Structures are given as C-alpha cells and as structure tokens.
C-alpha cells in the first residue's frame, strides 16, 4: 500500500472487457523528502477521488477486492481510501490535498 496524489484521469475505449465502466486515475506516489517522484501509477478508483486528492493505493488481490467485481479482473492497483490526514515524525502533517499540508514546526 502506498500514499499518492491524484494527478489525472485516463480513458480507454479499447480495453479488457472486465474493465468496462471503471474509472482510472493517474497517481503520483508520495515521498518523504518532498521531492517529486519520477514514477506514476494507474489505479482503478471505486471511491470517486478527484484531482489533487491524496489517496491510499493497494495492489494485487486487495486491489481486485476493492474494485469489487470478483477476482477475475484485468487490473492490479486500486484506490482503497481517500486520506484525511497523515502525521509524520518530524511534526509535519499532510492534508487531503497539498494545500492543507503543514510543515514541521521548529
């Protein structure tokens, strides 16, 4: 499982039939040093997260279970939660979007 920020949507007309009607999001993983991660993930979103929102992404069996269409589905990653808050050890907090982030207080 990892935390990421939704950075976009993907649409595909020609796709595996098990994926019909599902929403795909492009998600950028969160890094603890504040640098922008070079990788991005595509995940199915059963919850309805919007661009800029922080989400929890799960993989594999857990993801197929989240999508909720039995196990035979052509996808590996899914959004399982929309983050309200994350507190890190240095005292900084990460909000539902980057606007609500609070840096560590010295």
* Residue 87 binds another protein, judged by CB under 8 A: yes
Which DSSP string corresponds to 4-15? EEEEEEE--SS-
* Residue 73 binds another protein, judged by CB under 8 A: no
CB of 5 to another protein, least distance (A): 12
Cα separations (Å) of 62 from 15, 33, 65, 74? 22, 28, 5, 13
Among 62, 74, 98, 103, binds another protein (CB under 8 A): 62
Among 5, 56, 73, 75, binds another protein (CB under 8 A): 56
């Amino acid at each position: 499982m990892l935390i990421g920020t939704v950075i976009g949507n993907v649409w595909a007309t020609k796709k595996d039939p098990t994926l019909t009607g599902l929403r795909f999001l492009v998600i950028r993983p969160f890094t603890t040093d504040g640098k922008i991660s070079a990788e991005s993930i595509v995940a199915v979103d059963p919850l309805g997260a919007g661009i800029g929102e922080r989400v929890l992404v799960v993989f594999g069996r857990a993801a197929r279970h989240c999508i909720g269409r039995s196990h035979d589905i052509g996808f590996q990653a899914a959004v399982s939660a929309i983050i309200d808050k994350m507190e890190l050890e240095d005292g900084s907090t990460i909000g539902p979007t980057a606007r609500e982030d609070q840096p560590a207080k010295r």
